Amino acid sequence: MYLYLLGLLVLYYLYRWLRELPRVPNKGSKYVYITGCDSGFGNLLARHLDQQGFRVIASCFTEKGEEDLKKSCSSNLITAHLDVRSKDSVAKVAAMIKDKVGQQGVTVPSGPCDWLTIDDYRSLLEVNLVGVISVTLSVLPLIKKARGRVVNMASVAGRLSMSGGAYPVSKSGVEAFNDSLRLNMAPFGVKVVCIEPGFFKTNMSDPELLNNNFKRLWEKLPQQSPAMYLYLLGLLVLYYLYRWLRELPRVPNKGSKYVYITGCDSGFGNLLARHLDQQGFRVIASCFTEKGEEDLKKSCSSNLITAHLDVRSKDSVAKVAAMIKDKVGQQGLWAVVNNAGVSVPSAPCDWLTIDDYESMLQVNLNGVIAVTLSVLPLIKKARGRVVNVASVFGRVGATGGPYIVSKYGVEGFNDSLRINMKPFGVKVLCIEPGFFKTNVTDAAILSKNVQRLWDKLPQDVKDDYGPEYLPKALSFIPEKLAKMSDGDLMKVVHCMEHAVAAVRPRTRYSPGWDAKLFWLPLSYMPTCVIDYILTKEAIPVARGK
């Protein structure tokens, strides 16, 4: 039997090798746009593709990088200065490429890194994540025209966060953008490919530039039990019984423990604030609107404190953090629950601009990081909790747009922070809800968002999707959400409460049957299976027919 399996394995790899051997013809007429060519992978790739006969457009951040590359390549290679943080720089290079390639089209990969205040996160995310999105969107019409390729440089850190800082956050975001773009572009014949390198000797793996001992962090990761025991029903029952008993105890002295919750105007945050207030915690509930604060005060005890918070504003975040510091004193802050978030704009990737991405990332990702960092010293003092609300869409890139990117980013931040805070006794926990009836899944809001974005699209993009796409999308949204959304929000709130109050909380919570039985199992499937399932019932586009 084992020889038979070995034979099948050999045949599979032989088949795959033969299938992947053929290369595209007419390399001399195909333009390839590469970012980050000053050194490392980008530099080597530019030289290699130039030798193979492709028309390489190599962007560098420095003049020296351009000069060195020109010296080592043929006259066919074109260099350009590019700062991916600058919209003008991205647009200028995109315009140059459009002039060069004409009606042919283009192919795109990317690259680079650093860490720890919210400004550190923002500066790295602008390069590693927003830069990737910005460059891609700037040339996406040309790629669609050529039915070409988008090659995104992620990292194994986009799959498993082994260090702190913004790097794994950015690479998780690249993975999300790659997945959502791949699904969106499949009908147009555009292949979206992800490179996930391990550790190589480049500037990014220079020991002098790295502040963390990856080996030490890796060794701290919990070891999983052998999977074979999960198949034994008896042990499975015992395990769940043990877990239930283990997770029953709640922390004592709730009346002296402060819990800071964002996004309490409505939905999960509002219900959690009321629930924890009833349980005796000292709740600090931040709202975006005055009405939200007033309504919450009316329905809670006098112990509850409300605060106005705009997570996009450094001043607002700092002001609330200062107030909390005065309140909690030397005992510190027991928990922060990062619940604030938005779901629009959301649409296929090529409907959106980089501003659309940035506006949501400011709330859903940068807001989470900013709030957490603002009170992290207080949480360390209390050996408390950080509870981040992500989503099943932080596991599976099921739609286009920035929502998935932001939630993948939250997952990356959560994982890296969990490892960093473990030595300090701080528990970092993640809530990954499925579909529930909140503002995030409000069909009216989402439909209005789709209509607004469609109205702004240039005619050529509308033609790509066809006149039937919009009406089908507008009927698809309420129909699907009605079927999938769970009205019992307390399922999520109970998970949040457990994360805050249990003596032994879980690392991750997946409230909702759709999360447990569909989205999470799907996230462990091979990419080809995920793509097949998600695109099987997708709305057909005109150019994909």
465 is catalytic: no
d(CA 231, CA 218): 27
Annotated active-site residue in 31, 121, 260, 403: 403
Q: Which residue spans within 472-539 are E strands per DSSP?
A: 508-509
d(CA 538, CA 516): 22
Between β-strands 305-308 and 282-287, what pairing exists: parallel, antiparallel or unpaired? parallel
Single-letter amino acid code for the residue at 524: Y
d(CA 208, CA 404): 33
Q: CB within 8 A of 523, min separation 6: which ones?
A: 392, 395, 396, 530
Structure tokens at 422: 């473990």
d(CA 52, CA 31): 12
Q: CB within 8 A of 48, min separation 6: which ones?
A: none
Three-state SS string over 430-491 comes to EECCCCECCHHHCHHHHHHHHHHHHHHCCHHHHHHHCCCHHHHHHHHHHHHHHHHCECCCHH
Specify the DSSP element, H or E, that contains 202. none
Whether the CB-CB separation of 115 and 124 falls below 8 Å is answered with yes
In the block, tokens 């709202």 appear at 287
Q: What is the DSSP string of 314-369?
A: HHHHHHHHHHHHHHHGGG---EEEE------S-S-GGG--HHHHHHHHHHHTHHHH
d(CA 465, CA 538): 12
Q: CB within 8 A of 265, min separation 6: which ones?
A: 287, 288, 289, 291, 292
Residues annotated as catalytic are 403
